[in-house]
Amino acid sequence: MAFRTTTSRLAAAVLSSSRSHAFRQTARLTTASLPSIARSTLARSFGPSTHKKSLSPAAQFVRAYSQTAVVRGLDKPKTSLLLETNDGPGSLQDVLKFFWKHDVNMVRIESRPTKGPAPDYAFYIDFDGRPGETAVDDLLDDLKRHCKQILVLNDKKGTSIKTWGVVYDRMEDMWAKYACDEFKYILPLLESNCGYGRDNIPQAQDISDFLKECTGFTLRPVAGLLSARDFLNGLAFRVFFSTQ
């Protein structure tokens, strides 16, 4: 839960902070450079002459987007896992065949070498479904027998969801008292466009898609600390790194 909350806060910071590169880039937008759907929404909402005076270009864009966006990716539950395999020809193919065997749809995969003397590889995989479903349980059983190590990262149980709700309700009171205006403005956008709420913590990909449509930035997960040079290099290509 801490990672998802941190990621959401990073997303809000990238989108809303007047000091952030993303906001400054968005602030350079003019009405002529906005998508046609956003321009038409602005014209209907504020009129051709009023919106230029009442709202900054960045606020115009976010305001328009909040009226036209749709909720994404909430109809199918997803599970994330981390697994390690020996480095060698066909090692990834041996893993992927189990997804085909059990008819489980993989939606995202990343790989990186592990640290240590053994030349192994770690794979981060997102797929449709959750533990408790027959196909997913059979898939995990096969992966456990084949891989050196496997860890389910977000097996969302009912008790966990209830815990989120209690924390979320408590935080709402805190936000009303102590949160900055930018946070209060962005949170409803995350709730309506990413599904963020008391019973759901969105995937980082959902937040990344929202940011990309608004600002051109994407979130990219990293396993650890980055050098200042690497981090700034990512910003140059509109990539905001976050840990997971």
- Return the amino acid letter for 131: P
Going along the chain from its start, the domains and CATH numbers come out as: 2-72+160-243 (no CATH), 78-152 (3.30.70.260)
Taken in order 152, 14, 236, 59, the sign of the CA dihedral is positive
pLDDT in tens, 74-123: 457 788 888 888 777 888 888 889 999 999 998 888 887 776 666 677 88
- What does the CA dihedral 225, 6, 200, 176 come to, rounded to 10 degrees? 180
With a cut of 50, say whether residue 70 has pLDDT above it. Answer: no
H/E segment holding residue 111 = strand 106-113
Q: Which two tokens stand for residue 145?
A: 């027998």
pLDDT in tens, 180-237: 999 999 999 988 888 888 888 887 878 888 889 889 999 988 877 888 999 999 999 9
Q: How many CB atoms lie within 10 A of CB 104?
A: 19
CA distances from 191 to 6, 104, 145, 197 (A): 15, 28, 40, 6
CA dist., res. 226 & res. 173, Å (int): 35
